[in-house]
Structure 1
Amino acid sequence: MTLVILEAALHDKIWGGTALKDFHFPIKGDHVGEAWAIAAHKNGESIIKDGPFAGQTLTQLWQDNPNLFGGHEANEAFPLLIKILDAHQDLSIQVHPNDTQSREKYGKTECWYILDATPNAKIYYGHYAQSRDELKAMVEKEDWDHMLRTVPVKKGDFFYVPAGTFHALGAGIVALETQQSSDTTYRFYDFDRVDATTGQKRDLQIADALDVTTVPHHDPVLKQTTTIVDQTIVTRLVTSVKFTVEKLSVRGLSMFNLAHHYELFTVIDGAGRVNETAVKKGDSFILFDDEAISYALDGDMTIIKSFVTKDDNPDQRF
């Protein structure tokens, strides 16, 4: 079984801070907002740390070794992107397009696992408009108090954010984001902030955002399940059309079988071993089924795992 550990691409953001240093990322500034932990996108690339593929980007590995991933078309893009976000301030109120609406290869359906949150932290999640005309009128009037729906959050919460959902992380939240590999965001509102570098407000894409927002908003109902594998509690957080996400609470030696050609992992707390390889909080890695399908997790750690959802199991979707 091949295992590759990845080095994240770090991105400064107007709303970022320094919380990502707690995940052992080499933070050099005080506005680091995103660590693209598992990324094969033109706007951010993970680098393989060691082993026979050391120094390669994930895109290179994907393009040059399609057999590792179970095979794919020559022009097909790596489908998922895993980030850790530090929302030191509120993110912009935004929405993402679906596959049909996107100008990229994919739309942007995503989800958040809340890694940390200050007291009274909240997310912006959905809106109160009942029609597109009402939504447009609220945006034009900047009637954010009546339009923005907020939800209080705490460490350990999980939210599924399908394309078309009006949303933003609020200040004081650190989250792991699992998403389609897209960087397309349409902003409704950015709290009138001015970028210190440019001296200008960030661009808004209100017309595009209105076109792709789901109206009215409905919270998805998730079919979450919990199982025990040896010394690990496995919580399936979501199974959607685009991806499946699980939380693995490892408290000792546990044996697993890789059910897909490749699966993505990020250690969000603690430390341990994957087979004979040591991993710690902040490490992200990919396992491949090229030599064997079984692998061992050991230690005291919590991991978020994701993979592309199989089309042959629609009954497990929310």
Structure 2
Amino acid sequence: MYKEPVFLQPAFQERIWGGTKLRQLFDYDIPNPSTGEAWVISAHENGPSIVKNGLLRGKSLSEIWKEYPSLFGYSTAESDFPLLIKILDANDNLSVQVHPDDYYAQQLSGQTCGKTECWYILDCDEDAEIIIGHKAESREEFEAMVNSGDWGNLLHSVKVKKGDFVYVPSGTLHAIGKGIVILETQQSSDLTYRVYDYDRTDAEGKKRELHLKEAITVTSYPHREVQQERVKEDTENLISTRLIEEEYFTVYHWQVRGKTVAPLTTGFLLVSVISGEGLIGTAECESRIKKGDNFIVPVTIGDYFIEGQLELIVSHT
């Protein structure tokens, strides 16, 4: 029985729009000054996280998912690890893009799952904006505006601030704007259809590939904003705010002020420390935690506590 959290080492991704804030904000040892993403809890083949502690040290998350399914409450791992947690540094605008749902992912790309995601804004410049949705009323209108490059009338922009939360279901046209750092919770998919990239070129002078046919197929028409009311529970030294509860994940913001017995759940938890420091422990062992740490609380841990002055983003399937 594994009685401690499983701490994970991020996998970093270079991006044309990346920067250095992952080092500045989280003290991550990023590989270069255009690091756009830290895949902090990942079993995806394009960037698996590696266990940092305990008997499983050195193994990838995908390995322990398959080899030790009891940690996650299963007798066997019959499917892939379901979620992927990232921290993104948008030093420049991300491309305008859309992700398919499970059906279109299988039909268009032969992959097992699509990509529904959500964003918690960790940091951003003043007047930072995201693109979320479009203004076309039909597929035909959308396609005509894309083909004519009428981006100003097509794209729907929204200003954001630190602490905002944005739900991005599959089929939603979207882009993270320059100067924003987010924590993203998503299905474990790396499938993106790019619609517009501001005519940027890479180091070789080439524009990045667009995927207009696929994007037009999978985009939802017309755009409908999906919002849920935040559900807050204030218990001893813990304010737990449910940000979203939907088919693929439930995501919470936990604010810990002192020592609290962690809420019981029926499954494993994915946890990212977004500010502060403290402890997580059981009757048998304690581990220090701080801003930038990411870990899994296995179902085998039993009763545990968290202590300190901390903010956490917590998710489960």
Same fold, judged at TM 0.5 (above): yes
Partner of 2:312: 303
Structure in which a larger fraction of residues adopt helix: 2
1:117-173: per-residue Cα shift (whole Å, max 9, x none)?
101100000000000000000000010000010000000000000000000100000
Quote how far apart the aligned CAs of 1:258 are: 3.2
- Conservation of the 8 A alpha-carbon contact between 2:65 and 2:77: no
Report the AA paired with residue 275 of structure 2.
Answer: D
Structure 1 CA distance for aligned equivalents of residues 131 and 241 of structure 2: 25
Structure 2 CA distance for aligned equivalents of residues 30 and 274 of structure 1: 33
1:86-117: per-residue Cα shift (whole Å, max 9, x none)?
00100000000001111322110000000001
Partner of 2:92: 89
1:63 to 66, 80, 101: 66
Quote how far apart the aligned CAs of 1:78 are: 0.1
Report the AA paired with residue 87 of structure 1.
Answer: A
Hey, which bits of structure 1, 4+ residues long, moved more than 6 A?
none
Partner of 2:220: 214
Structure 2 CA distance for aligned equivalents of residues 268 and 141 of structure 1: 42
Partner of 1:252: 258
Q: Does 1:32 align with 2:35?
A: yes
1:201 to 183, 200, 207: 207
Quote how far apart the aligned CAs of 1:204 are: 0.5
Structure 2, unaligned runs of 5 or more:
none
Q: Which secondary structure state, in structure 2, belongs to the residue aligned with residue 253 of structure 1?
A: strand
RMSD: 1.1
Structure 1, unaligned runs of 5 or more:
309-318
1:8 to 7, 10, 15: 10
Q: Structure 2 length as normaliser, TM-score?
A: 0.94
- Conservation of the 8 A alpha-carbon contact between 2:5 and 2:301: no
1:62-92: per-residue Cα shift (whole Å, max 9, x none)?
0101111111654410000000000010000
Q: Structure 1 length as normaliser, TM-score?
A: 0.94
1:279 to 286, 289, 304: 289
Q: Does 1:149 align with 2:156?
A: yes
2:196 to 185, 189, 198: 189
Partner of 1:311: none
Percentage identity across paired residues of the two chains: 47
Across the two proteins, how many residue pairs are aligned to each other? 306
Quote how far apart the aligned CAs of 1:291 are: 4.5
Structure 2 CA distance for aligned equivalents of residues 152 and 195 of structure 1: 28
Q: Which secondary structure state, in structure 2, belongs to the residue aligned with residue 257 of structure 1?
A: coil
